[in-house]
Amino acid sequence: MSHLFFTLAFSVLTALTACAQVAISADLLFTMTGDFKPIKNGVVLCGADGKIEAVGSITDLKIPESYEIITAKVATPGFIDAHSTVGLSGILNAPRHDQEQLEGSAPSQPELRAIDAYNGRDPLVKWLRDLGVTTVHTGHAPGMLISGQLMIVKTHVPSLTSSRDLLSEKSAIAVTLGAKALSKSPGTRSKAVAMLRGDFLKAQARLQKIEAAQNDEQKEVPDADLKLDALVEVLQKKTPLLINAQRHQDISAALRLREEFGFRLILDGAAEAYLLLEEIKAAGVPVIIHPTMARPYGDLENMTFTLAAQLHKAGILFAFQSGYEAYVPKTRVVHFEAAMAAAYGLPQEVALAACTIQAARILGLDERIGSLEKGKDADLVLFEGDPLETTTRTSAVIIEGKVVSDRAK
């Protein structure tokens, strides 16, 4: 790339950062609407309020003179990491300093809130943002039976001084079925499921008391119980249960629990989901698949690079995640995982959708993020080439109409 290109790009981005209204012009614009096909010579107009004003081709959409223009080879919606621990797990990998993703003092702790530990200033958050990840679904890691709550936040938010800083304060409660959750107690899979059922039976009884008090003024509302109240919201379908289950028997157990208690279920990991495609499809349960390039050992020993392609062929909604890694830098990058899945049979447009609009649908935020449409947040990533080519660099990242990264990376 020439020195002149970088000089021009820096000038445009400097102007873009300072101005209120922006036009993005891309040779290929992936809006992630309809059939996910890109618009050639596409344009996105971003308003001063951080929302998208219009999307179309350069021949159909006139750019007002007052708008600053930035050009790119390729532009996509901001990427969504559908399950991460970033912000709780930090870049230094220091257990007493920046590793807040897993509390090991008890097997079941649904009351633990991600918002209380999240560090948006950790360099790991910026590292992901510079690569194009604009939204993360993050929180407590797999590893305990119920490890805690997850939340959804934009990667440009440095501190969470209010729940208004989040897209979702309690987006899911993280559960683990399988070897990662087994210790002294629970020590076996059957014990783990029995403990979960016991917790939900207690929550059911509590919900009945709450409902009875609401319908009868003479009955007292039970005192607050942080643990059970979190599970009551799961039973009320206010909060989904995200169950990390890799083996087919653990996936089956998750589906049975959903059938018994009627909660909203998101399958997480699901390495052996290819053995239960019909059952998952019939249940209407979405899947946040394990990182495509995860290491195949333990419960992941039967994983396959083709899982995303198989889920797509079966018509099961899925998204990509960075997951949790026990080594530096503690995270993966979702579109790199998507790139590997595309190399193993997943159509390119679907691979991008699973980092954008499909992730937004699973998280219940598709009215706001995940695609480039009028009225949605102006979150975009600009690339120097194919986003699913791992040597392609990100030239700019825009969140809510503002440039948050203008360094090629």
The CATH number assigned to the domain holding 163 equals 3.20.20.140
The CATH number assigned to the domain holding 45 equals 2.30.40.10
Within a domain: residue 36? Answer: yes
pLDDT band at 326 (very low <50, low <70, confident <90, very high): confident
pLDDT band at 16 (very low <50, low <70, confident <90, very high): very low
Residue 331: CB partners within 8 Å, gap ≥ 6? 84, 85, 86, 89, 124, 128, 322, 323, 325
- What pLDDT does 12 receive? 46
| 99 and 84 within one domain | yes
Within a domain: residue 56? Answer: yes
| 270 and 328 within one domain | yes
pTM for the full predicted model:
0.93
- What pLDDT does 408 receive? 65
329 upstream amide cis, omega within 30 of 0: yes
Angle, helix 307-314 to helix 334-343, in steps of 10 degrees: 80
What tens digit of pLDDT does each residue of 54-87 get? 999 999 999 999 999 999 999 999 999 999 999 9
| 282 and 192 within one domain | yes
Within a domain: residue 350? Answer: yes
Kindly report the average pLDDT of the chain as a whole number: 93
Question: What CA–CA distance (Å, rounded) separates 381 from 76?
Answer: 5
Which amino acid, 226?
A: L
Which amino acid, 364?
A: G
Q: Which domain holds residue 51?
A: 3-77+373-405
Within a domain: residue 357? Answer: yes
**Res. 11: pLDDT tops 90:** no
| 347 and 241 within one domain | yes
Within a domain: residue 368? Answer: no
**Res. 14: pLDDT tops 60:** no
Query: What are residue 99's DSSP bridge partners?
Result: 89
| 394 and 345 within one domain | no
| 178 and 93 within one domain | yes
Task: Provide the CA 319 distance to its chain's centre, in angstroms.
Answer: 8
| 70 and 130 within one domain | no
Tell me the two tokens of residue 45. 């107009």
| 386 and 238 within one domain | no
Within a domain: residue 38? Answer: yes
Within a domain: residue 308? Answer: yes
- What pLDDT does 71 receive? 94
For the ranges 1-10, 141-150, 371-380, the lowest mean pLDDT is seen at 1-10
For the ranges 325-329, 331-335, 368-372, 382-386, the lowest mean pLDDT is seen at 325-329
| 180 and 41 within one domain | no
HEC letters along the chain: CCHHHHHHHHHHHHHHHHCCCEEEEEEEECCCCCCCCCEEEEEEEECCCCEEEEEEECCCCCCCCCCEEEEEEEEEECEEEEEECECCECCCCCCCCCECCCCCCCCECCCCCHHHCCCCCCHHHHHHHHCCEEEEEEECCCCCCEEEEEEEEECCCCCCCCHHHCCEEEEEEEEEECHHHCCCCCCCHHHHHHHHHHHHHHHHHHHHHHHHHHHCCCCCCCCCCHHHHHHHHHHCCCCCEEEEECCHHHHHHHHHHHHHHCCCEEEEECCCHHHCHHHHHHHCCCEEECCCCCCCCHHHCCCCCCHHHHHHHHCCCEEECCECCCCCCCCCCHHHHHHHHHHCCCCHHHHHHCCCHHHHHHHCCCCCCCCCCCCCECCEEEECCCCCCCCCCEEEEEECCEEEECCCC
- What pLDDT does 328 receive? 62
- The mean pLDDT of 386-399, rounded to a whole number, is 95
**Res. 2: pLDDT tops 60:** no
| 83 and 54 within one domain | no
What tens digit of pLDDT does each residue of 44-53 get? 999 999 999 9
**Res. 346: pLDDT tops 90:** yes
- What pLDDT does 360 receive? 98
What tens digit of pLDDT does each residue of 178-219 get? 999 999 999 999 999 999 999 999 999 999 999 999 888 888
- The mean pLDDT of 244-261, rounded to a whole number, is 98
Tell me the two tokens of residue 311. 């889920």
User: Which position has the higher pLDDT, 18 or 37?
Assistant: 37
**Res. 357: pLDDT tops 50:** yes
**Res. 3: pLDDT tops 80:** no
Task: Provide the CA 191 distance to its chain's centre, in angstroms.
Answer: 30
- What pLDDT does 7 receive? 38
- The mean pLDDT of 221-226, rounded to a whole number, is 92
- The mean pLDDT of 268-290, rounded to a whole number, is 98
**Res. 97: pLDDT tops 50:** yes
**Res. 102: pLDDT tops 50:** yes
| 117 and 16 within one domain | no
- What pLDDT does 92 receive? 85
Say if strands 265-269 and 287-289 run parallel, antiparallel, or are unpaired: parallel
- What pLDDT does 15 receive? 43
Within a domain: residue 86? Answer: yes
**Res. 6: pLDDT tops 70:** no
| 90 and 62 within one domain | no
Question: What CA–CA distance (Å, rounded) separates 192 from 215?
Answer: 35
- The tally of domains found in the chain comes to 2
What share of the chain has pLDDT > 70, as a percent? 94
